[in-house]
Amino acid sequence: MNKNRSELSEALRPELARRLTEAGWVVDVAYDAGPGGFFVGAFRREIADDFWATIQFMPMSWGPREDPLGIMTMVGVSYFPAYCTWPILIDRERSEVTAELGELIGASEQPWIIKVAVLENVPRVADELVASVVEHAMTWAQQYASVDALIDNCRADPDRPGTEAWIVPVLMAVSGDLDGARSELAAYLASGQEEVITPEYRRFCDKFNRWLGAGAVIPEPPSGPVGARVPRDPGPTREERARNSRIRRQAVDAVRRQSGGRSRDQLKELLITELDRRGVKERPVAIEMALDSIEASSSVFGRAKLTMTGLKLATDFATSLYRIFRDPGSHQTPEWLQPPARASYDVRGDHRNPIGVDLDPGAQSWLDRVLDEGSTMMGNMATMSAWLAWDPEPQTADSRLAVHIGAKRVGVLSDEDAARFQGEMDAASHSDELPFTFAGLFRWNRPAKYVLEIWAPSKE
């Protein structure tokens, strides 16, 4: 019997737990792997004094929720004092070295993902996953059962330069070398490499230094999942996708029939009204693209212009990819585009439903610079971090939630969208921080305008 991915996850979860606990593993309570959790399972097993092998089974999603459930398996090694300390430094769990199971078993395709589509196959999939882990994970993990081995691995991994800057200072500190940890941290910060100028790393450094200054006491081990629960959105069904697509076309057609003599702003208002009337919320950039289509349909010249715009976007994208592959350093985010040090509270954003920013009238010159000098995508598109602050601050009844890129305010959120960030703003203020989130910037040349989308907090 076919089931959706959520039901398959819940069926697979106890099957994995039973098999692995019988094989000597214990449930890793630091991971959100209980019923309804983000992970299908997370487990630990001691391999030497204070060193543990770890496993996490991660659900992988494609397309509608009826599609097969894919499971990717990560294995790792965790030093117990660090396991206790990571939650207070980064608000989540982690292992000091990790590998995808496909690397260990020599799979031809990596990541190695096992799929299950029907309940009848769940026990077989559990058997296959557990057999692969039991055969390979413990042997692989043994080579990293010392602090020196973990540090050497961090320094030797050319594919993950940022890992070293986080893990090496922590391993030194939790093993008693506090002076060495301070020196290592100072060296990483002085390097100026991209990984150490991010808001996440600045926040880690602040917490790490405060923990060192308080005596570097190893906390008690986690007693439950660390950090906020990450919601698992199964996504729309095929029927829901088809229905929403049909409704969007109906809304666009309705506006197209009324488009004669109306300005773009009037068409936009009409389109939003038609979508709202049908119960569909569209992302801001998709609304602009629909307006392009409506305006272009009025003439042969308009349709040709829309085609050329599409070709230009494709050319920009290809040019950007070529530049990145030819010179990997060319796509690094410049320092002037980074949020300030205080804006280091990471919002767990929802990429499925970005919200639009009401841009300030004077923001265009700064946004021009963001795209022309700081673009990581293509000429008319860029991604970056945006940070938020109340204006005026602290929050009053008259405050607006302002959105900033780099050092500049660029716009505000509507009162409705600002309310979605209230919990994040309150949580960040407890440690005198400000939130930042993922942002996408899009430019239309004709008419000259920008659309800025940001990821709102994920719903529980």
pLDDT digits (tens, 9 = 90+) for 357-415: 999 999 999 999 998 886 555 558 888 899 999 999 889 999 999 999 999 999 999 99
Check whether 21 has a pLDDT greater than 60: yes
Instruction: Please indicate, yes or no, if residue 170 is contained in any of the structural domains.
Output: yes
Mean pLDDT computed over 12-31: 96
Instruction: Please indicate, yes or no, if residue 219 is contained in any of the structural domains.
Output: no
Nearest to 375 by CA among 458, 420, 326, 319: 319
Residues 128 and 243 in one domain: no
Range of the domain at 277: 238-298
Residues 37 and 158 in one domain: yes
Higher pLDDT, 459 or 135: 135
Residues 282 and 401 in one domain: no
Instruction: Please indicate, yes or no, if residue 429 is contained in any of the structural domains.
Output: yes
pTM: 0.72
Mean pLDDT computed over 72-91: 95
Mean pLDDT computed over 256-275: 87
Check whether 315 has a pLDDT greater than 50: no
Check whether 166 has a pLDDT greater than 50: yes
Instruction: Please indicate, yes or no, if residue 291 is contained in any of the structural domains.
Output: yes
- At 183-205, the pLDDT tens digits run 999 999 998 787 788 888 888 99
Check whether 305 has a pLDDT greater than 50: no
Ramachandran region, residue 63 (left: φ > 0; alpha: ψ -120 to 50; beta: rest): left
Local confidence band at 318 (pLDDT 50, 70, 90 cut-offs):
very low
| Range of lowest pLDDT (110-119, 183-192, 331-340, 399-408) | 331-340
Nearest to 94 by CA among 105, 83, 110, 109: 83
DSSP three-state, residue 42: strand
Instruction: Please indicate, yes or no, if residue 323 is contained in any of the structural domains.
Output: no
Residues 124 and 31 in one domain: yes
| pLDDT, averaged across the chain | 84
- Domain boundary, last residue among 180, 213, 246: 213
Rounded CA-CA distance 181/204 in Å is 13
- Euclidean distance between the first and the last CA atom of the chain, given in angstroms as a whole number: 29
At residue 191, the pLDDT reads: 86
Mean pLDDT computed over 432-436: 92
Check whether 73 has a pLDDT greater than 60: yes
Residues 270 and 178 in one domain: no
Residues 11 and 96 in one domain: yes
Residues 77 and 132 in one domain: yes
Residues 118 and 209 in one domain: yes
- Domain boundary, last residue among 178, 213, 248: 213
Mean pLDDT computed over 152-179: 87
Give a three-class secondary structure readout of 324-348: HHHCHHHHCCCHHHCCCCCCCEECC
Residues 131 and 255 in one domain: no
Local confidence band at 64 (pLDDT 50, 70, 90 cut-offs):
low
Percent of the chain with pLDDT over 90: 47
Candidate ranges 69-83, 261-275, 315-329, 420-434; pick with highest mean pLDDT? 69-83
Q: Are strands 435-444 and 345-346 parallel, antiparallel or unpaired?
A: parallel
Residues 23 and 153 in one domain: yes
Residues 129 and 49 in one domain: yes
At residue 304, the pLDDT reads: 45
At residue 306, the pLDDT reads: 45
Check whether 333 has a pLDDT greater than 80: no
> What is the number of domains present in the chain?
3
At residue 230, the pLDDT reads: 61
Instruction: Please indicate, yes or no, if residue 166 is contained in any of the structural domains.
Output: yes
At residue 349, the pLDDT reads: 80
Are residues 116 and 12 in contact, defined by beta-carbon separation less than 8 angstroms? yes
Higher pLDDT, 191 or 149: 149
For residues 280-301, one letter each, b for 16 or more C-beta atoms within 10 angstroms of the residue's C-beta and e for the rest, the string is eebbbbebbbbbbebbbeeeee
Q: Are strands 345-346 and 355-356 parallel, antiparallel or unpaired?
A: unpaired
Instruction: Please indicate, yes or no, if residue 283 is contained in any of the structural domains.
Output: yes
Residues 67 and 173 in one domain: yes
- Domain boundary, last residue among 246, 278, 298: 298
Mean pLDDT computed over 37-43: 93
Instruction: Please indicate, yes or no, if residue 205 is contained in any of the structural domains.
Output: yes
Rounded CA-CA distance 434/3 in Å is 42
